[in-house]
Structure 1
């Protein structure tokens, strides 16, 4: 059975996690409210069976009549039999709402992550974000599944016990009243310490996840330099942090669970002894069946409260996960696009006017007073030492970051007034190392485009010098590329990435060291494919290898965030300036 997601946006407040949980479930009140109304019927055996047991015992003591025995047997049968269909219905309604709420949270996190700035994503480990989307939402679902059922069941038992006892033996009500303040007191004693321990455990898990992700990413470097023990020690340090904080949390929960069980069981024994004492010392005040009924009720109440308290660690973990999810959903570092003008067509004119960009907490700007105009269809290359601002300039051209000073114009319009997501639909990027996802090669090429004809895909492959790759594979372009394109070589991945760019027919093209990691043969094929890709498109190229950009219309030399030279290759060489010195440094002596 499918559920249509609620139209209201997901709101999670880390300062008020419990309120956020109720708000989350409130999105599906048409399912939650009926499930809560069904619960008293479903769980009626919990409070009704002690009444049946007490009545049967009194019938045995008094010797009949048998027709009353049949009546109570029928009551017990109906009460127990109805539990199956009502429990299935309750599960369908309530757990349907819980699972849909979990899906809503995951979708909201994915949408938020797509809206957050590139600066945020470069500063936060992807493994930590994955933990929030997978583990934390699972913790919230588990909390709603287990704690809600226990709380509702206990509420039904307490209500039934109080009502029946008030009718039959009202003078025993004060004994029941002892359990609630004791449970509240014990929970309040645990709350603050439990929150601190759960927060510490969650943070240690995130650190560990980050280190595992780093280990996987750095595996080739680690193995190449024989640093296996170093990498293992770094992960082991994170695992030790998880073990220590998890053990401290387990010890806290263990002490609390044992203490709560002992206290509540002592109360249960006290109730039984008190009822028996009254029955013995004042015969006729209370029957043997009522002694059993009181003991059963008190046992159910104390057992139920014990169960709820035992589930407190799960509730604490779920509440901490709500706070964790809220960290992402409330993160203010957004790429500001909402409500801005939609870009429908792109010519490819780019202009930087006195552009300044400074990263947070940086002592010096990454770009300082950049004045540059790129005409539609022009190829402009950016060179310079590491840290000169090349990649920052590309990120500005993509709209990943916005100038902290000056402005950037796209086709004569201030980029600050545009929804840059719509602009980027007509932009393609070929990075130094192209990443393919786990799917067919065709799916990787047409990613996000919907219906693309086989003819378009084939032409893109031909122009990217990638047709031979496809023809050599047993399943052609239906071959699964493997995770991150692991089944293809670096040169093959680059040519598939170029085919992906070609099939989009972009107006603006950004090449970021697109050939620097390739062998000479692969580089020749990729450069030939790039030449076709760059035709009649505005192209910005970042390159360390100056031999790859000699044909650019203009070469911009950057140093410490400033433009120090602009010109064609031959002119800059003849000028004998900074570009010429970079060229000489790259020449291999005979």
Structure 2
């Protein structure tokens, strides 16, 4: 049984090491752990690829045996040597693929690992500014491009270099007087072919752009089909797409014709130069201008074609390498991003009492006209529920992000049980905190796995503990009706569940962790009346004995809070209970009609 490839160790230093250096140095660093394996791969490749440049030499030797009536044993010796090298190709090729393939895959795994861990270290502000699709493309597509670039450069580059070096070495030893001709003509032939390809690349780009335009038009057409049908505009819609279809047709036809011209010209050029080389070497041998045999003439002609092809391959690797290096730079944008949440060296949080103090806290977002929160001072005691209300943009979500530690105050401080949170390891603090957001976030797994996410192996947790959390979250009544109960898969982002069901699972996830600090961010705003009632009942169990911060859209959540903090323009406008604020007739009372309408 074949031994499985070992998983590479984590390259923990990579994410801290990348500092905008040249991508080739980064690639060298990534491949450094496998340098011995790669050196072995190069040696193996030279041997396995030797038939390509040995064949013209052995062919020349066999022709000379026939023409000059040399001993028959020489013929068998040459044929036998080539046969042995050919038979060795199979095991050597497998060894080469194993060495290079495992090294490239290890490199890709190390880079993906570094990118994913760096994303976990980057601040929430960075993730708010950077598209999730862009980050996903860096981990998946850019790393795949790097892997493919390194693999192709190794396969095609080694083949071309080995052939060039081996062929020129044979010519230098066998017909040294002809070597200068090859050193001049072969590179020129390769450059001429690449010049022709450059024109082809421009037309390829033009064709690609036309196809992208057509794709955009078709996407637009399909999205507008309801409006198109409703207004009888099918003919107009087809007319818009038809123009793009015709452009793709003409661009494709131009590309096909250019491909045909390029293929014919390249074939004529290379074969003309090959015939010229053959005729020139034949004349040199015929007139005894150089010391050459009939076999040498055939060898030189064969080598011209082989070496020109190798030179063209090397020149053609340029866009492949450039694309891979650009992907290294793209990954480097994440690896060198400075916007990190720094927890190293800070005090671990072993327990949380639940008291939170905001002392003259202010925070402003980069590029904003003014602070999102200004001079915010508030104390929340253990077991107290504090509701934050106010118009959109009043600063409520910013306060919650400050509490969670996603952002840090630009001035003032936040104390957790009397300790400045700036001195604490926020990762350890968040073990005692749970968040129930407006839209619960589930992954494609079972209900059990979603509820116990982050608590170790879900199968090892006591099932009754999971069921108790689901029961307290009013979720057990629908979970038990599902085909597989708590082992039912919820689908991507919980697509098989309703909004209320997903929200109750989010509450169960919070309950099972027994948090000391709880954040409810618009937890019921997107639910219908029945679902809201079930969720509110579950939330009532969840908030007992915990410090709770609530941002809510509906009065039913706000009315039961111990204190309601009304915010306006990032500042605290007033604080009190629901009845106190209504009787005061201030900003909170002014919000009531709008809230009832909502």
Q: Which moved more, 1:515-524 or 1:19-28?
A: 19-28
Q: Is residue 70 from structure 1 mapped to residue 79 from structure 2 by the alignment? A: no
Rounded to whole Å, the distance in 1 between the matches of 2:347 and 2:205 is: 42
Contact 1:194/1:316 (8 A) holds in 2: no
Rounded to whole Å, the distance in 2 between the matches of 1:266 and 1:526 is: 82
- The 3-state SS of whatever aligns with 1:381 is strand
Rounded to whole Å, the distance in 2 between the matches of 1:117 and 1:200 is: 40
Post-superposition offset of 1:493: 0.4
Rounded to whole Å, the distance in 1 between the matches of 2:120 and 2:531 is: 33
Q: Which moved more, 1:93-102 or 1:155-164?
A: 155-164
Partner of 1:442: 448
Post-superposition offset of 1:460: 0.4
Rounded to whole Å, the distance in 1 between the matches of 2:258 and 2:26 is: 26
Partner of 1:488: 497
Evaluate the alpha carbon distance shift between residue 292 and residue 6 of structure 1 in structure 2; reply closer, same or farther with a 3 A threshold: farther
Contact 1:442/1:478 (8 A) holds in 2: yes
Partner of 1:530: 539
Contact 1:384/1:557 (8 A) holds in 2: yes
Partner of 2:364: 358
2:477 to 468, 478, 484: 468
Evaluate the alpha carbon distance shift between residue 318 and residue 569 of structure 1 in structure 2; reply closer, same or farther with a 3 A threshold: same
Q: Give the count of matched residue pairs.
A: 581
Map Cα deviations across residues 345-376 of structure 1 (whole Å, 9 max, x no partner): 22222111111111111001100111111112
Partner of 1:514: 523
Partner of 1:577: 586
Partner of 1:151: 157
- The 3-state SS of whatever aligns with 2:379 is strand
Partner of 1:229: none
Q: Is residue 9 from structure 1 mapped to residue 13 from structure 2 by the alignment? A: yes
Contact 1:260/1:309 (8 A) holds in 2: no
Map Cα deviations across residues 539-570 of structure 1 (whole Å, 9 max, x no partner): 11001212311111111110000001111111
Evaluate the alpha carbon distance shift between residue 265 and residue 135 of structure 1 in structure 2; reply closer, same or farther with a 3 A threshold: farther
Post-superposition offset of 1:336: 2.2
Segments of structure 1 that go 5 or more residues without pairing to the other structure are 214-238
Partner of 2:310: 304
Q: Which moved more, 1:341-350 or 1:361-370?
A: 341-350
Post-superposition offset of 1:25: 1.4
Normalised to the residue count of structure 1, the TM-score between the two structures is 0.87
Rounded to whole Å, the distance in 2 between the matches of 1:497 and 1:171 is: 81
Partner of 1:105: 111
Post-superposition offset of 1:62: 2.2
Post-superposition offset of 1:452: 1.8
Map Cα deviations across residues 88-114 of structure 1 (whole Å, 9 max, x no partner): 001101110101111111111111111
Q: Which moved more, 1:68-77 or 1:10-19?
A: 10-19
Q: Which moved more, 1:53-62 or 1:26-35?
A: 26-35
Segments of structure 2 that go 5 or more residues without pairing to the other structure are 220-244
Evaluate the alpha carbon distance shift between residue 39 and residue 399 of structure 1 in structure 2; reply closer, same or farther with a 3 A threshold: same
Contact 2:59/2:295 (8 A) holds in 1: yes
Q: Is residue 504 from structure 1 mapped to residue 513 from structure 2 by the alignment? A: yes
Rounded to whole Å, the distance in 1 between the matches of 2:147 and 2:207 is: 19
2:54 to 45, 48, 70: 48
Rounded to whole Å, the distance in 2 between the matches of 1:399 and 1:204 is: 48
- Within 5 Å, which residues of 2 pair with 1:403-442? 403-442=409-448
- The 3-state SS of whatever aligns with 1:178 is helix
Evaluate the alpha carbon distance shift between residue 466 and residue 187 of structure 1 in structure 2; reply closer, same or farther with a 3 A threshold: farther
- Within 5 Å, which residues of 2 pair with 1:44-443? 44-178=50-184, 182=188, 267-282=273-288, 285-443=291-449
Map Cα deviations across residues 197-235 of structure 1 (whole Å, 9 max, x no partner): 99999999999999x99xxxxxxxxxxxxxxxxxxxxxx
- The 3-state SS of whatever aligns with 2:523 is coil
Contact 2:190/2:311 (8 A) holds in 1: no
Q: Which moved more, 1:328-337 or 1:466-475?
A: 328-337
Rounded to whole Å, the distance in 1 between the matches of 2:515 and 2:209 is: 43
Q: Which moved more, 1:314-323 or 1:454-463?
A: 314-323
Evaluate the alpha carbon distance shift between residue 6 and residue 399 of structure 1 in structure 2; reply closer, same or farther with a 3 A threshold: closer
Q: Is residue 558 from structure 1 mapped to residue 562 from structure 2 by the alignment? A: no
Evaluate the alpha carbon distance shift between residue 136 and residue 255 of structure 1 in structure 2; reply closer, same or farther with a 3 A threshold: farther
